[in-house]
């Protein structure tokens, strides 16, 4: 009868080691004992006392019999139900499905939009620069010759009157430098604008030109000393913003294309085979 009652009590409770603070006291004593070696001998003495006290108290909890505590169990109705195995296959997500492990951005602008945006932005920038030359110096050739001075030593050391005059070689060099730079920056716009979460045309047209202007302000004395000595930074910033807004508007209005990061390797490598192309929704 007594054994039956004991089994019922065991079934309704579980024995666990009784809680005790002696291990923490012993650990604190050991830490203070070593800390006193580099601080003060009194700290070591206190640590040794605490360590001994903790060891003695801890030994009383485990010798000659371990101290236990009975933890009552919840009633069977409140206990968690056993997990029922389900013999069904798990459907695994593949790369790209529902955005699974897709790198951001998932869609980008085509590079051709960057070239178009760079050319349009270059025209807008040129209009502002020509206005500056006409209003500030009475000549539309002044900003062109300043831009060409980076590759023409004769214009780098030229006077104000020579910079105002028409120079066919300077015009050709300026067009090449301006065109190549505009296309390059336009391609950067096509790559960077998908990373702007909201209003990419406005953000790229305002933030990027300001950053670009700050970079040129710190390096222009090395790239083009003649331009750095005569540049008007207000007009220069206005021309950069005109470029950014025009290029950003053209790029942002272009339809984005999905990246190929979710395609199989064979498709990305250009291999045409049956079943290689990913399935598309009807």
Residue 42 and residue 151 share a domain: no
Residue 217 and residue 114 share a domain: yes
Structure tokens at 216: 């040129």
Q: Does residue 95 form part of some domain?
A: no
Residue 230, domain extent: 107-258
- Express each pLDDT in 54-84 by its tens digit: 999 988 888 888 888 888 888 877 878 888 8
Residue 66 and residue 164 share a domain: no
Which residues 6+ apart lie within 8 Å of 94 measured at CB?
100
Residue 213 and residue 137 share a domain: yes
Question: What is the pTM assigned to this prediction?
Answer: 0.54
Q: Does residue 275 form part of some domain?
A: no
Number of separate domains in the chain: 2
Residue 117 and residue 166 share a domain: yes
Q: Does residue 91 form part of some domain?
A: no
Domain boundary among 36, 62, 78: 78
Residue 143 and residue 70 share a domain: no
Rounded to 5 degrees, what angle do the CA atoms 127, 186, 226 make? 55
Domain boundary among 78, 97, 128: 78
Residue 212 and residue 168 share a domain: yes
Residue 213 and residue 121 share a domain: yes
Residue 116 and residue 73 share a domain: no
Asked, as a colleague might, if the bond just before 174 is cis with ω within 30 of 0, I would say no
Q: Does residue 102 form part of some domain?
A: no
Structure tokens at 202: 């406005």
Q: Does residue 86 form part of some domain?
A: no
pLDDT tens digit at each of 282 positions of the chain: 444 444 444 557 888 888 888 999 999 999 999 998 888 889 999 999 999 999 999 888 888 888 888 888 888 778 788 888 877 776 665 655 555 666 777 778 888 888 998 999 999 999 999 999 889 888 888 888 888 877 787 777 778 888 888 888 888 988 998 899 899 988 888 888 877 767 766 776 777 788 878 888 888 788 777 777 778 888 888 888 898 888 888 888 888 887 777 666 666 666 555 555 555 544
Task: Residue 236: count other Cβ atoms within 10 Å of its Cβ.
Answer: 21
Q: Does residue 177 form part of some domain?
A: yes
Residue 155 and residue 20 share a domain: no
């Amino acid at each position: 009868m007594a054994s039956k009652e004991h089994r019922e009590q065991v079934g309704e409770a579980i024995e666990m080691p009784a809680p005790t603070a002696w291990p923490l006291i012993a650990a604190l004593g050991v830490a203070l004992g070593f800390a006193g070696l580099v601080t003060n001998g009194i700290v070591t003495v206190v640590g040794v006392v605490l360590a001994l006290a903790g060891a003695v108290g801890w030994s009383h909890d485990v010798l000659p019999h371990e101290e236990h505590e009975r933890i009552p169990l919840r009633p069977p109705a409140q206990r968690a139900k056993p997990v029922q195995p389900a013999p069904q296959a798990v459907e695994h997500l593949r790369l790209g499905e529902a955005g699974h492990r897709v790198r951001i951005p998932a869609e980008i602008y085509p590079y051709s939009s960057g070239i178009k945006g760079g050319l349009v932005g270059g025209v807008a920038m040129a209009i502002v620069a020509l206005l500056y030359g006409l209003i500030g110096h009475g000549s539309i050739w002044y900003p062109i010759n300043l831009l060409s001075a980076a590759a023409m030593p004769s214009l780098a050391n030229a006077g104000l009157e020579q910079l105002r005059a028409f120079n066919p070689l300077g015009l050709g060099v300026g067009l090449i430098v301006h065109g190549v730079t505009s296309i390059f920056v336009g391609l950067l716009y096509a790559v960077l604008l998908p990373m702007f979460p909201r209003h990419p045309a406005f953000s790229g047209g305002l933030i990027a030109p300001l950053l670009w202007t700050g970079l040129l302000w710190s390096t222009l004395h090395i790239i083009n000393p003649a331009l750095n000595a005569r540049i008007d930074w207000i007009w220069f910033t206005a021309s950069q913003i005109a470029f950014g807004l025009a290029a950003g508007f053209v790029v942002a209005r272009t339809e984005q294309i999905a990246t190929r990061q979710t395609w199989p390797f064979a498709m990305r490598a250009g291999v045409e085979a049956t079943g290689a192309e990913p399935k598309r929704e009807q």
